[in-house]
Amino acid sequence: MLRSLLSRAWICFALLAVPVQAQVGETLSNADAAVAGNEMVVGRIGLIDLEGVLRAASGTAKVRELLDEQRLRFQREFSAKETSLQETERRLLSERDLLSDEAFAERLSAFEAEVAAIQKEIQYRREAIDAAFQEAQQSLRRLAIEIVTDVAREKRLDLVLNKESALIFRPDLNISEEVLTRLNDRTRDARFEIKVDDTPANSSGEGS
């Protein structure tokens, strides 16, 4: 049981320049409607594959390396605990005929409680490692969005869309490579820390 646990459109973007048929008193004159329409025109557009940028970022690779180190430490630690539990189980079974039913039941209950506690710790560690990765990714995402904002300002872009929102586009509209380059530059000397508590906090309101 323990072993299995361990292994286991343009935003169709209709430029929703929805022909601004605003009513001011009555229907706008053609000249006024043209002016209002121009105010809604998006002239310069950029596209970004944000998820692709994050996957390719050197910062993501650094975070994964740190998480891999945590997983290896985790696996070594629980492998040792598994070996100890297996030895305890063998010893308990070998002494079965030497113990009274009451004594055996007591020893068995203690063994099962130990197994349950380790199973709970395994689950906690896995969830903590996943949460640490998500937190690090969110930090990289926030930084990437800051860079997208900088690029948009420098290029005087009116709108930046996720590339997935566009079916067909000119390659020069894609700012992903520039954002990736800047993101890697900004995180080149960054010191990433992945902290995973060794034991779960005892919470009286904790569920199953």
Q: Which domain holds residue 34?
A: 2-187
- Whether 1 shows a pLDDT value over 60: the answer reads no
- 52, 49, 19: which is closest to 35 by C-alpha? 19
DSSP-assigned states of every residue in 148-163: HHHHHHHTT-SEEEEG
Phi and psi torsions of 160, nearest 5°: -125, 125
| pLDDT classification of 201: cutoffs 50, 70, 90 | low
- CATH code: domain of residue 28: 3.30.910.20
Please report whether residue 121 resides in a domain: yes
What average pLDDT does the segment 142-154 reach? Answer: 94
- Whether 37 shows a pLDDT value over 80: the answer reads no
Please report whether residue 73 resides in a domain: yes
Q: Is the pTM of this model over 0.85?
A: no
Q: How many structural domains are present in the chain?
A: 1
CA angle (9, 140, 123) in 5-degree steps: 105
